[in-house]
Amino acid sequence: MMNKKKPELLAPAGDLEKLKIAILYGADAVYIGGEAYGLRAKAKNFDRETMAEGIRFAHEHGAKVYITANIFAHNADFEGMAEYFREVYELGADAVLISDLGVFSVAKEAAPNLEIHVSTQANNTNYQSARMWYRLGAKRVVVARELSLGEIREIREKIPEDMEIEAFVHGAMCISYSGRCLLSNYLSGRDSNKGACAHPCRWKYHLVEETRPGEYMPVEENERGTYIYNSKDLCMIDHIPDLIEAGVVSLKIEGRMKTPFYVGTVIKAYRRAIDDYFEDPALYEKNLSYYMEEVSKASHRDYTTAFYYGKPDGNQQVYTNNSYIRPFDFIGVVTEDSDEAGYAWIEQRNKFSVGEEIEVMPAKGPSFSMTVSEIWDEEGNPVESAPHPQQKLRVKFTEPVHTFDMMRKFISHTE
């Protein structure tokens, strides 16, 4: 039996469906955005009704909900902000994530008993700033993604014992320091520090000479062009013991804009890895290749450990394309438990057909493969394929399935 406390697994949830999937697939907590003040303006986000339902669902399943309010506020943003924090607290949110000192002060005054976590956007790179946030009333800091494990360990040693450290362990990396970017605002008018980033770091760039408009000259790393700011994705699933040893108590997955399939796949893999490690470190070591294989079934770029083991070199960037590696299609989600004959209703997400080999990923337990033998539409007619997005279909399964189990199909291509 290990003496160390098992870390929290913290999942992204861009909408209510993703929140439920994240929790059912193993998250201890989720972070969500309301309709204002968060850094994912293009996510569906949560209104008052869905936020209340999400918090209720999480608490019924023993999980927590953190609300993002981590914009860098301008004067006009403060109108109605105090009321928003009071409402979030009354709905039962477990904490809010904040970057801006002014927003912090409003939250502290409006809802003094609401726990505050300081977002990575606040550039939490040292123990002195962490101490200052603690004195102001923060419970947790989300450390900057530019820190090494050694630096995190030193912060842990020099901050109050009851202050917590949260760190990103998986997902997209930002080219700018802890996401504080002006490039999007300058090139597209969309302010990344208010949740509307256009991701210009992933664009393909050319040069245009002033007297030759319309003549695009490539900026080439090689014949395929270059994506000079395009970083690989972070993945620390095979370094969980090092994160725990450094003092990280919350392992955070990036991806509020990602699909339910991404959330379920990644969360389930990290849940298994954490649980295996605390059951027996030797079991964790034995299964390292399995964990990596599982997280790689979700859409991703090549993986990196970023700054955790030292300053990155050129190998942390992808210079030849801005595509994702997508080995599987998310083809459907089960909407009810299967009956005794093995039939269940599903909601289709991508095309699949009778005769195809698919894999079913349940929220709990191992995945299983099967050949699709029967598909029926809502009118009770047999169909050969399911081409229409979000079509309601009845499928015969070879093993029992449950609500929110997901279906995937191997395709192996980039997007």
DSSP sequence for 93-137:
-SEEEE--HHHHHHHHHH-TTS-EEE-GGG---SHHHHHHHHHHT
Q: Tell me the per-residue pLDDT of 164-205, one tens digit each, with 9 for 90 and over.
A: 999 999 998 777 666 667 777 777 877 766 667 777 776 777
Of 319, 354, 389, the position where a domain reaches its end is 319
Residue 1 has pLDDT above 60, yes or no: no
Can you read off the two tokens belonging to residue 52? Answer: 């209340």
Same domain membership, residue 68 and residue 101: yes
Same domain membership, residue 119 and residue 20: yes
Same domain membership, residue 169 and residue 70: yes
Same domain membership, residue 255 and residue 388: no
Of 260, 291, 319, the position where a domain reaches its end is 319
- Interval 144-158 mean pLDDT: 96
Residue 289: inside a domain: yes
Q: Where are the beta strands (DSSP E) in 135-199?
A: 140-142, 164-171
Length of the chain, in residues: 415
In this prediction, residue 173 carries a pLDDT of: 78
Of 319, 341, 364, the position where a domain reaches its end is 319
Same domain membership, residue 170 and residue 62: yes
CA dist 334 and 281 (Å) reads 34
Same domain membership, residue 315 and residue 330: no
Tokens 């809502």 label which residue?
378
Looking at 38-52, 101-115, 221-235, which range is the least confident one?
Answer: 221-235
Looking at 31-35, 127-131, 206-210, 337-341, which range is the least confident one?
Answer: 206-210
Same domain membership, residue 340 and residue 239: no
Can you read off the two tokens belonging to residue 233? Answer: 């994705």
- Interval 135-155 mean pLDDT: 97
Same domain membership, residue 289 and residue 272: yes
Residue 243 burial (CB < 10 Å; 0-12/13-18/19+)?
buried
Looking at 39-48, 256-265, 358-367, which range is the least confident one?
Answer: 39-48
Tokens 């904490």 label which residue?
95
- Interval 235-251 mean pLDDT: 98
- Interval 102-121 mean pLDDT: 97
In this prediction, residue 36 carries a pLDDT of: 80
Q: How many domains does the chain have?
A: 2
Q: Which residues 6+ apart lie within 8 Å of 234 measured at CB?
A: 145, 168, 169, 170, 171, 172, 173, 254, 303, 304, 305, 306
Looking at 113-117, 230-234, 381-385, which range is the least confident one?
Answer: 230-234
CA dihedral for 125, 169, 240, 414, sign (positive or negative): negative
In this prediction, residue 220 carries a pLDDT of: 65
Can you read off the two tokens belonging to residue 95? Answer: 């904490």
- Interval 76-102 mean pLDDT: 96
In this prediction, residue 38 carries a pLDDT of: 73
With bands split at pLDDT 50, 70 and 90, how would you rate the model's confidence at 122? very high
Can you read off the two tokens belonging to residue 80? Answer: 């109605």
In this prediction, residue 226 carries a pLDDT of: 59
Helix count and strand count (H, E) for the chain:
11, 21
The whole-model pTM stands at 0.88
CA dihedral for 97, 103, 105, 109, sign (positive or negative): negative
CATH label of the domain that carries residue 354: 2.40.30.10
Same domain membership, residue 292 and residue 171: yes
Same domain membership, residue 299 and residue 367: no
163: left (phi over 0), alpha (psi -120 to 50) or beta: beta
Query: Which of 357, 248, 256 lies closest to 8, judged by CA?
Result: 248
CATH label of the domain that carries residue 99: 3.20.20.70
With bands split at pLDDT 50, 70 and 90, how would you rate the model's confidence at 40? low
Query: Which of 319, 410, 323 lies closest to 361, judged by CA?
Result: 410
Residue 377: inside a domain: yes
In this prediction, residue 171 carries a pLDDT of: 92
In this prediction, residue 164 carries a pLDDT of: 98
Please give the residue range of the domain that contains residue 291.
Answer: 8-176+231-319
Give helix 127-136 / helix 149-158 axis angle, nearest 10°: 40
Residue 183: inside a domain: no
- Interval 209-220 mean pLDDT: 81
Same domain membership, residue 162 and residue 259: yes
Q: Which residues pair with 401 in a beta bridge?
A: none
Residue 282: inside a domain: yes
Same domain membership, residue 380 and residue 310: no
- Interval 357-370 mean pLDDT: 96
103 half-sphere exposure, CB direction, 13 A CA radius: 27
Residue 2: inside a domain: no
With bands split at pLDDT 50, 70 and 90, how would you rate the model's confidence at 12? very high
Average pLDDT, the chain: 90
Residue 224 has a CB neighbour count (10 Å cut-off) of: 12
Can you read off the two tokens belonging to residue 189? Answer: 């008018």
